[in-house]
Amino acid sequence: MTYPASMPLIAVPCDVRLFENYTWHATPDTYLNALVRVSKATPVLLPAMAGEIDFETVLGRIDGVMLTGSVSNVHPDRYGVPPSVAHEPFDPARDRLTETLIMKAIEAGVPLLAICRGHQELNVAFGGTLVPEVQEIEGRMDHRAIKHQEQRERFAIRHDVMIEPEGHLETIVGKGPIRVNSLHRQGIDRLGSGLDVEATAPDGTIEAVSVRDAKTFAMGVQWHPEYWAESDAASRAIFEAFAEACRARAERSA
């Protein structure tokens, strides 16, 4: 495997997990593999310690930000819906980290790729709201992962999304439709101010957005391009486009 002489540094906000009497700050390796193997970048894990982090210093030293998916949901308090045990699990520490990181990254012109939970976090950061359980709305598809022991089956590519004409995503993956592996319970309800829709599912669920006046790559996708980034053309194209923006920033900084 060949790598560029200078691999961009990509900040990846962590989830918080309790395991073996420790509090862990971690992220699934599928996202890290996609960054290393497809984006040819170096991931830098950012702990969910918003009150202890100097965001300006971090953003001055990295070349991109990638928000991952997670089993946890964005806390309903962040978008004005009463919390319910049925909508758990939550990860308030990650919520606090990303709500600051997203806006500061965009203001600083740092490329941003937001995946699944990250896509939802991006919408909330721009004042949008979420549906806690998409599958409970009449006429909507059940976007949840199937129950299966094999991850390849859970993350299998299962349905189409329609690409908005002349949008940023169309320049990356083509006119579409493309097939994706969209696995989630939460989904965008009211679109955040300053975001544009880039793709939708057959049931109308917003599957991709971009930041309208962003200085560089700033996009959210509801599906999981990281899982098939090495073998699926559209998934690879998204990670390569993100990497290109990150390398451009690295070169400007150098």
Q: pLDDT digits over 94-117, tens only?
A: 999 999 999 999 999 999 999 999
Q: Is 90 exceeded by the pLDDT of residue 157?
A: no
**pTM for this model (two decimals):** 0.92
User: CA distances (Å), 120 to each of 35, 111, 136, 174, in order?
Assistant: 21, 17, 18, 24
Q: Is 80 exceeded by the pLDDT of residue 69?
A: yes
Length of the chain: 254
Q: Is 90 exceeded by the pLDDT of residue 83?
A: no
168 within 8 A of 212, measured Cβ to Cβ: no
Catalytic residue (one of 121, 198, 207, 226) = 226
Residue 153: band (very low, low, confident or very high) from pLDDT cuts 50, 70, 90: low
Least Cα distance to 112 among 12, 237, 235, 250 occurs for 12
Q: What is the pLDDT of residue 139?
A: 73
Q: What is d(CA 205, CA 200) in angstroms, rounded to the nearest whole number?
A: 5
Q: Known catalytic residue: 240? A: no
Residue 229 φ then ψ, to 5°: -60, -25
Q: Which residue has the higher pLDDT, 215 or 149?
A: 215
pLDDT tens figures, 193-236: 999 999 999 888 999 999 999 999 999 999 999 989 999 999 99
User: What is the average pLDDT score of the chain?
Assistant: 90
Q: What is d(CA 113, CA 161) in angstroms, rounded to the nearest whole number?
A: 18
Cα-Cα-Cα-Cα dihedral of 106, 109, 115, 118, to 10°?
-20
Q: Is 90 exceeded by the pLDDT of residue 177?
A: yes
Catalytic residue (one of 143, 168, 184, 224) = 224
Other beta carbons less than 10 A from residue 246's beta carbon: 29
Query: Which stretch of DSSP H or E encloses residue 179?
Result: strand 178-180
Domain residue ranges of the chain, discontinuous segments joined by +: 9-253
Q: Is 70 exceeded by the pLDDT of residue 148?
A: no
Catalytic residue (one of 116, 121, 184, 207) = 116
Q: Which residue has the higher pLDDT, 143 or 138?
A: 138
Q: Is 70 exceeded by the pLDDT of residue 145?
A: no
Average pLDDT over residues 33-62: 96
145 within 8 A of 183, measured Cβ to Cβ: yes
Q: Known catalytic residue: 226? A: yes
Topology of the domain covering 9-253:
Rossmann fold (3.40.50)
Q: What is the pLDDT of residue 146?
A: 62
Residue 236 φ then ψ, to 5°: -60, -40
Q: What is the pLDDT of residue 11?
A: 98
Q: Is 60 exceeded by the pLDDT of residue 48?
A: yes
Q: Is 60 exceeded by the pLDDT of residue 3?
A: no
